[in-house]
């Protein structure tokens, strides 16, 4: 069994239960819904189909976030190198002498400074601002290409003052809250205020949905500590990040963000173009395999597929490859790659670290814990042990929330009032489901003060002996 989780993007064009079941069987843990390409009506059908396959699959709704796009383009515009283009947040028409390009943020031309770069369509076309005018900025085309409608507009090194949540984001956050979605992945998070704005909307609907902050610009990287203070986890979205920041800096930033998240005991997802060639080909390139492997060596919680499963020709095979790569890399873990967790700050963290250490040194089969909120399981995941963590949860939402956490296999269990009955019930459930054998030695982390009282003790014994403690 792999420890690294797989997030797969599902589209409304391909969301039949049979298809979702295939992805699930091959190792998909979380299904991602990209709101840039769906409506709430189609999203509801997707959620129903995912839930029909399994209650344990996490559902992540990915918002569009604050972004700028090209607008008001009928036919694609061909541009040549050194050509002059007027770019504006106002709707303007091209003339015979010069192309006028409109974008979706009305103050764009007033905020962006002279000398800045404008990247269009994920960096396919680069413009340089050579002069500012009242109603537009005059730009020079750096490379030839075709500009199409509704394509991304990035401004590397400069942040325009977009509102943190769009109207469509509000619609989907409300939809997610009303339909028991597990995660909101909010795009283009720049600071803690962006996270708090999403949380305000969720609080309005009394929703326990967890927020994943997508880091895809320089502000997000620079403010990662305050973002991690308020987000449940982060996604390193390398598409826009690779446009905003020089490509050669991305690997180092990726490792830094993973380290920051793991040390804070927060789930971290690596996303964008992991097996991109499998959209059209049955096998990934060697470079892609290495990219996935590097993320796993870096101790990431989850790896994500986008177009590969949303509309690619080989979606199931892409998940299979992800699974195989994860198992292979995890089987040859090198402790020198481990991330040092800062000094233990509370009893739960101390027990988690001790449990992982004991599990390694005593060569136990697994770690078992009961958890009301998932906190103990998150802490155990952060220390990146070699053995699976079986988290016995008291509600299905926590089961699904742990679907993003490294090495955690969560399942639902009936609550017990007595401490020893809780231990016995947890182990019996795992024995009956064949996840453990009676002779398996396990580390059990539990609490003496009932459900919700926090983890306070650790025991090490065989599963049989632990289940026989109370008749």
pLDDT of 309-341, one tens digit each?
999 999 999 999 999 999 999 988 777 677 888
Query: What CA dihedral angle connects 3, 51, 63 and 165, to 10 degrees?
Result: -120
Q: From residue 415, how far is each of 35, 371, 376, 383 by CA, in Å?
A: 37, 10, 17, 27
Is 340 inside any structural domain? no
Structural domain boundaries, residue 421? 347-467
Q: What is the DSSP string of 98-126?
A: -EEEEES-TTHHHHSPTT-EEEETTTTEE
**Residue 193 near residue 227 (C-beta atoms within 8 A):** no
C-alpha angle 326/332/338, rounded to 5°?
A: 90
Helix axes 167-178, 40-53, angle to 10 degrees: 30
3-state secondary structure labels for all residues of 312-366 = CCCHHHHHHHHHHHHHHHHHCCCHHHCCCCCCCCCHHHHHHHHHHHHHHHCCCCE
Asked if residue 342 is part of any domain, the answer here is no
Q: Residue 196 is part of a domain; what is its CATH number?
A: 3.20.20.60
149 and 273, same domain (yes or no): no
Q: Is residue 335 part of a domain?
A: no
Say yes or no: 370 and 309 in one domain.
no
Phi then psi dihedrals of residue 235, to 5 deg: -120, 125
Last residue of one domain, picked from the residues 92, 120, 154? 154
Burial 322-346 (b: 16+ CB within 10 A, else e): bbebbeebbeebeeeeebebeeeee
Is the pLDDT score of 452 beyond 80?
Answer: no
Examine the domain organization and report whether 297 and 369 are in the same domain. no
What is the pTM (predicted TM-score) of this model? 0.93
336 lies in a domain? no
Q: Are residues 323 and 351 both part of a single domain? A: no
Instruction: Report the percentage of the chain scoring pLDDT > 90.
Output: 81
Q: How confident is the model over 91-110, as pLDDT tens digits?
A: 988 888 899 999 999 999 99
Sheet holding 441-446, edge to edge: 408-412, 389-393, 366-371, 441-446, 457-462
Name the packing angle between helices 167-178 and 192-204 (round to 10°).
50
Inside any domain, residue 338: no
Contact status, residue 253 vs residue 245, Cβ threshold 8 Å: yes
* Residues annotated as part of the active site: 32, 69, 214, 272
- DSSP label at residue 12: T
* Residue among 433, 273, 418, 430 at smallest CA distance from 367: 430
Domain assignment present for 339: no
Asked if residues 305 and 273 have their Cβ atoms less than 8 Å apart, the reply is no
Asked if the model's pLDDT at residue 9 lies above 90, the reply is: yes
Looking at the fold, whether 316 and 260 belong to one and the same domain comes out as yes
Among residues 398, 64, 12, 49, the alpha carbon closest in space to that of 209 is found at 398
Is the pLDDT at 382 greater than 90? The verdict is: yes
Residue 132, CA atoms < 13 Å, CB-side half-sphere:
13
Residue at which a domain ends, from 298, 330, 362: 330
Q: Indicate the SS3 state at residue 193.
A: helix
Q: Please name the residue that has the structure tokens 């795009």.
A: 187
Domain end among 117, 135, 154: 154
278 and 172, same domain (yes or no): yes
Q: Return mean pLDDT, the chain.
A: 93
How many domains would you assign to the chain? 3
Looking at the structure, tell me whether residues 231 and 305 fall in a common domain: yes
Whole-angstrom CA distances from 193 to 67, 163, 214, 459 are 16, 11, 14, 42
How does pLDDT run across 178-197, given as a tens digit for each residue? 999 999 999 999 999 999 99
- Alpha-carbon span 288 to 271, nearest angstrom: 12
pLDDT grade for 135, boundaries at 50, 70 and 90:
very high
DSSP 8-state secondary structure symbol assigned to residue 373 = S
Q: How confident is the model at residue 380 (pLDDT cuts 50, 70, 90)?
A: very high
Residue 369 neighbours by CB distance under 10 Å: 28
Alpha-carbon distance of 172 to 298, in angstroms, equals 33
- How far is it, in rounded angstroms, from Cα 352 to Cα 355? 5
Residue corresponding to tokens 């129903």: 48
For residues 408-418, give the mean pLDDT: 83
In a domain, 159, yes or no: no
In this predicted structure, the answer to whether residue 343 has a pLDDT above a threshold of 70 is: no
* Same domain for 80 and 57: no
The Cα 158–Cα 416 span in angstroms is: 55
**Could you give the C-alpha distances from 388 to 1, 4, 296, 410, 419, in angstroms and in order?**
8, 11, 16, 10, 23
Give the per-residue pLDDT at 418.
62
The helix (H) or strand (E) run that includes residue 195 is helix 192-204
Per-residue pLDDT tens digits for 236-277: 999 889 998 988 999 999 999 999 999 999 999 999 999 999
Does 83 lie in the same domain as 208? no
pLDDT over 60 at 470, yes or no:
no
Do residue 58 and residue 206 come from a single domain? yes
| Statement to judge: residues 189 and 313 lie in one domain | yes
Q: Which two tokens stand for residue 457?
A: 């003790």
Report how far apart, in Å, the C-alpha atoms of 205 and of each of 134, 198, 202, 355, 356 are: 43, 11, 5, 38, 38
Claim to verify: residue 118 and residue 182 sit in the same structural domain: no
> What pLDDT does 471 receive?
44
CATH number assigned to the domain comprising residue 141: 2.40.33.10
- Residue 69 has a CB neighbour count (10 Å cut-off) of 16
CA dist 387 and 5 (Å) reads 15
Give 338-342 contacts, CB < 8 A, sequence gap 24+.
338/299, 338/384, 339/258, 339/259, 339/262, 339/263, 339/299, 339/384, 340/263, 341/262, 341/263, 341/265, 341/382, 341/383, 342/263
Alpha helix locations (H) across 28-166?
Answer: 40-53, 108-111
């Amino acid at each position: 069994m792999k420890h690294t989780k797989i997030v797969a993007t599902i589209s409304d064009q391909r969301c039949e239960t049979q298809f979702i079941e295939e992805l699930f069987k091959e190792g998909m843990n979380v299904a991602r819904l990209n709101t840039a390409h769906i409506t709430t009506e189609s999203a509801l059908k997707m959620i129903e189909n995912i839930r029909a396959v399994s209650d344990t699959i996490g559902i992540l709704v990915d918002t569009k976030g604050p972004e700028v796009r090209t607008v008001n383009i009928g036919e694609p515009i061909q541009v040549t190198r050194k050509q002059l283009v007027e770019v504006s947040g106002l709707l303007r028409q091209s003339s015979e002498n010069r192309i006028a390009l409109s974008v979706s943020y009305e103050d764009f031309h007033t905020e962006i400074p002279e000398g800045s770069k404008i990247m269009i369509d994920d960096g396919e076309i680069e413009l340089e601002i050579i002069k500012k005018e009242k109603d537009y900025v005059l730009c020079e085309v750096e490379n030839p290409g075709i500009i199409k409608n509704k394509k991304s507009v990035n401004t590397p090194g400069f942040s325009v003052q977009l509102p943190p949540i769009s109207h469509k984001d509000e619609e989907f956050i409300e939809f997610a809250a009303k339909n028991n979605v597990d995660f909101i992945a909010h795009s283009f998070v720049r600071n803690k205020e962006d996270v708090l704005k999403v949380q305000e909307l969720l609080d309005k609907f009394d929703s326990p949905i967890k927020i994943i902050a997508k880091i895809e610009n320089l502000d997000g990287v620079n403010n990662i500590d305050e973002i991690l203070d308020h987000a449940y986890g982060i996604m390193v979205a390398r598409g826009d990040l690779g446009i905003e920041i020089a490509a050669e800096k991305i690997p180092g930033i990726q490792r830094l963000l993973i380290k920051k998240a793991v040390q804070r005991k927060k789930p971290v997802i690596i996303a964008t173009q992991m097996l991109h060639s499998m959209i059209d080909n049955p096998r990934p390139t060697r470079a892609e395999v290495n990219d996935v492997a590097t993320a796993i060596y870096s101790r990431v919680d989850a790896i994500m597929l986008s177009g590969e499963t949303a509309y690619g020709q080989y979606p199931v095979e892409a998940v299979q490859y992800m699974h195989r790569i994860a198992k292979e890399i995890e089987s040859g873990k090198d402790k020198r790659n481990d991330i040092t967790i800062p000094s233990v700050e509370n009893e739960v963290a101390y027990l988690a670290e001790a449990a992982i250490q004991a599990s390694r040194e005593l060569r136990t089969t697994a770690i078992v814990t009961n958890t009301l909120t998932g906190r103990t399981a998150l802490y155990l995941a952060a220390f990146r042990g070699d053995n699976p963590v079986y988290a016995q949860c008291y509600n299905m939402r926590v089961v699904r929330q742990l679907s993003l956490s490294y090495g955690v296999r969560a399942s639902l269990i009936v609550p017990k009032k007595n401490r020893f009955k809780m231990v016995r019930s947890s182990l019996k459930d795992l024995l009956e489901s064949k996840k453990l054998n009676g002779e398996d030695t396990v580390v059990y982390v539990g609490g003496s003060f009932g459900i919700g009282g926090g983890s306070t003790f650790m025991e090490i014994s065989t599963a049989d002996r632990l289940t026989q403690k109370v008749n």
